[in-house]
Amino acid sequence: MDPAHDVVSAWTRIVHWLEEHAPAAARTLNPPATDAELGRLANALGRPLPGELEAWLRLNNGSTALDTRTPIPGGDRLDPHPDSRLLPGGEVFLDCASIAERHAQHLRIATDIGDEDWWPPAWIPVLAEADAHYGLLLDTGGRREGAAPVLFYSETDYAKVYAPSLGAVLTAVADMLEHGGGDSALTHGRYPSVQDGHLVWD
């Protein structure tokens, strides 16, 4: 199966469910990424975008539509909207600019600590906690035939294999939303509920 097709199919199911059952969460979704935004992201990453990631961003450019920024000394602070945390682990679907920003930040840290294995250039963050080094990435260097594997990363350990593809992650979430069941390994053992139009993972 085409990895991009798997992502489009699963994400379409997720968005349909959110629009019908959790409209507050659906409102956090940005419009599709433009060709210009995708081009800037590819330039920032220094490599072509994986087909599955480009397909996802062409549906929605992240779940950051309601996020705000607060000025602080030396810059500003991103304040994620609570409803932007669409995934079972509390992760935000990163937009093009956020992916580029985090990718550059992680590469700088790897250089600063002198450990290229901590974050190789081929790793692309796609889902992340808004205020912590924690989330899921696409390992484009690990692609063999078909999809790039998904790795889980955290502040306390090196990244490790999480799922065979982005499509597998999103399909598990879609199954859980639609049927209340699915692969708990990919949904953190949590179950979805809706409270006043807001998606909650218990």
Instruction: Determine the pLDDT at residue 195.
Output: 95
pTM of this structure: 0.93
Model confidence at 129, in pLDDT bands (50, 70, 90)? confident
Instruction: Determine the pLDDT at residue 1.
Output: 66
**CA separation for the pair 147, 151 (Å, rounded):** 12
3-201, CATH topology level: SMI1/KNR4-like (3.40.1580)
Residue 8 structure tokens: 């489009």
Cβ within 8 Å of residue 114, ≥6 positions away: none
Buried b (16+ CB within 10 A) or exposed e, 158-175: ebeebbebbbbbbbbbbb
**CA separation for the pair 26, 157 (Å, rounded):** 33
Distances 75 to 19, 64, 102 between C-alpha atoms, Å: 35, 19, 15
Cβ within 8 Å of residue 2, ≥6 positions away: 51
Q: What is the pLDDT of residues 139-178, one digit of tens each?
A: 999 776 688 999 999 988 889 999 999 999 999 999 999 9
Query: Helix, strand or coil for residue 137?
Result: strand
**CA separation for the pair 200, 121 (Å, rounded):** 34
Name the DSSP letter for residue 142.
Answer: G
